[in-house]
Amino acid sequence: MKVKEFRTKFNDVYIYCIGDIHIGDSNFSKASEEKLKGYIEFIRKTPNAYCILQGDLLNVATRVSKTSPFDQNLDLKEQIEKAVDLFKPIKHKCLGAVDGNHESRISDFTGYSPTISVCERLGIDYLKDSAVYLIRMGCHSLKDIPRTTFTIYSAHGCGGGKTVGSKMNRVDAMRNIVSNCDVYASGHNHMLGCIPTLTQVVNPATGRVDMVRQMLVDTGSFLDWNESYAERMQLQPSKLGSPRIHLIVERKTINGIEETHKDCHVSL
């Protein structure tokens, strides 16, 4: 597991978790690409918008995978070129990237992931299997004390099932790995969803037990359902796209005491 710190002067930030694009798959259609470009354009033109890459950017079909390389419309070299071209406008706003199971098809055989090639060409941090992002808000310089910090645990994910509940259970299981994050983001099952949950955390500094809200986020995909692996396996269609995570920090005066408050919203 990697830890990536990101400092920003903003007191509200948009984070897009983008993954399961499967560049090279014939079901990554022109409409899918235009939808993805819409997200990229919003991130490019919005100063306080950033993205996290969730894996399966590339399709990486092989002779022994469930999808055939002969059903792809781009070979692996072309898939990497396409990914670089798509994300080049926001390469400075991509906080990091993890592998998906499709990229792992290559690394399992050779020890080298094609995600590394994409990251190196774009100057993005390659974080391999999973990462905790520390989003430090209200920092105008590296020396500033942050107003507050949000934490996001990101991984591509694995397993799942056919039902909505089983898919979200896989995201919820991430809390058994790292318990105190604000957001848990996982992909792989191609569903777009979010469940807000509450947990109680002991605060040794105050001697209180604080109630903390945590967001379980399924990060969606960009593959059309018709004539796809999902249709063949009778998996439920899901809305295409990526979730938008809105992190907000503000000062509030309650009972005459000024306190820092964190808030998080997820749009699908």
d(CA 23, CA 75): 10
d(CA 157, CA 187): 5
pLDDT tens across the length of the chain (268 residues): 999 999 999 999 999 999 999 999 999 999 999 999 999 999 999 999 999 999 999 999 887 777 777 778 999 999 999 999 999 999 999 999 999 999 999 998 899 999 999 999 999 999 999 999 999 998 887 778 888 999 999 999 998 778 889 999 999 999 999 999 999 999 999 999 999 999 998 988 889 998 899 999 999 999 998 877 667 666 777 889 999 999 999 877 666 666 778 999 999 9
- pLDDT, tens digit, for every residue of 67-109? 777 778 999 999 999 999 999 999 999 999 999 999 999 998 8
- pLDDT, tens digit, for every residue of 135-171? 999 888 777 888 899 999 999 999 877 888 999 999 9
Place of tokens 């819409």: 38
Q: How far is CA 70 from CA 6, 20, 56, 65, 73, in A?
A: 41, 20, 18, 11, 8
